[in-house]
Each structure stands twice: as C-alpha cells, then as structure tokens.
Amino acid sequence: MPKATTYKTGDFVVYPTHGVGTVIGVEEQEIAGLTLDLVVITFDRDRMTLRVPVEKAPASGLRKLSSKKIMEDAMQTLRGRARVKRTMWSRRAQEYEAKINSGDPISIAEVVRDLHRNVGQPDQSFSERQIYEAARDRLAAELAAVDKTDVEAATEKLETVLTTS
C-alpha cells in the first residue's frame, strides 16, 4: 500500500488520461464518512486540479515521471519505421487514443511515429492531425519534465528526431 510520503509537493507525476501534472500536496479529507489521504495534482495546461486517493493511486495509473532510460527508449521508437495497419481509420483512431491514454511513453511515441509521416500531406484528415498533436504534446510534456526544460524545447527535440530518422 503506497504511503502519502511517496508523493511530495513539487514532484512531477503522470496521470494516464491527463499527462504530466505537479503534486501540490497531500491532504486528508472526509468523504462519505471515510477519512482519505488524497494526492492533489495540478495540470497547468488544462487548468485543472485532480485529487486521487493515495490507496487508489497505483490502480488509477498515477506514476512518477519516466526515467531517462525509458525516455531514450521512446526517442528510439520515434526513429523507427511507421507501422500503419490497413484497418479502418475509426478502429486505428481508437487504438491510438488507447495508447495515448495508457500514459506509457513508448506507446505514445508509437502513435507520434505512425502519424508523423502524414503531417503536412494534404491527405491527412483533421482527426489524424488532432490525435498526432495530442500524442506529441503528451510526450513532449513528459520529455520536458524529465530533461528539466520547457515544452517548446522538448517539442522541437521530438520534431528533430522525427525529421532526421
């Protein structure tokens, strides 16, 4: 069972469906007669605050930032060849969304890699572009936190890797 001390104020964490957030504290709150320790996370990009019960944090997918090694593996994934299945777009779009919402940097990198090949081409649909940008932004946010840089610099780094591979 995780302890409240696992999460410290100022730590970056990743919540699968929202991306990188900052822990602003751990608070005790009474909900429906139960006293719960809650990790309070703020997501600046979405202007949102999320409270996750400490006991439910692992099951919810809340995790610490990826290690530099995992981010390097994700960057290596970006350098690979795009693997686009020949299934209907709606099915692929669902799979891409699931990968993005998994919170796994390597899965997100696969989405970025697979959809990047079409960027700037007139046959790319609006929804393809949206999913690509969501994946790229999510990956860039974690990369920025791991590299201790800003999101713009991390996005440029991703784009460089994609265009030189």
- Is residue 57 domain-shared with residue 73, that is, in the same domain? no
- Is residue 80 domain-shared with residue 160, that is, in the same domain? yes
Over the stretch 45-75, which tens digit does the pLDDT of each residue have?
A: 778 999 999 999 989 999 999 999 999 999 9
pLDDT of residue 1: 45
pLDDT band at 83 (very low <50, low <70, confident <90, very high): confident
Question: Nearest 5°: phi and psi at 88?
Answer: -60, 145
- Is residue 54 domain-shared with residue 84, that is, in the same domain? no
pTM of the full predicted structure? 0.86
CATH number of the domain enclosing 150:
1.20.58.1290
- Is residue 39 domain-shared with residue 99, that is, in the same domain? no
Domain boundary among 13, 47, 64: 64
- Is residue 56 domain-shared with residue 111, that is, in the same domain? no
- Is residue 38 domain-shared with residue 74, that is, in the same domain? no
- Is residue 124 domain-shared with residue 51, that is, in the same domain? no
- Domain range for 81 is 68-164
- Is residue 130 domain-shared with residue 80, that is, in the same domain? yes
Nearest of 83, 77, 85, 89 to residue 129 by alpha carbon: 89
Residue carrying structure tokens 């996750």: 52
- Is residue 85 domain-shared with residue 101, that is, in the same domain? yes
On the CB side of 34, CA atoms within 13 Å amount to 6
- Is residue 8 domain-shared with residue 84, that is, in the same domain? no
| Angle CA 117–133–51, to nearest 5 | 145
- For the stretch 160-164, contacts whose Cβ atoms lie closer than 8 Å and that sit 24 or more positions apart, written own/partner, are 161/75, 161/78, 161/79, 162/78, 162/112, 162/113, 162/116
CATH number of the domain enclosing 60:
2.40.10.170
Over the stretch 123-145, which tens digit does the pLDDT of each residue have?
A: 778 899 899 999 999 999 999 99
Among 1-15, 47-61, 81-95, which stretch is predicted with the lowest mean pLDDT?
A: 1-15
- Is residue 21 domain-shared with residue 78, that is, in the same domain? no
How many separate domains does the chain show?
A: 2
Domain boundary among 25, 47, 64: 64
DSSP H helices in the chain: 57-60, 68-79, 89-102, 105-116, 126-147, 151-164
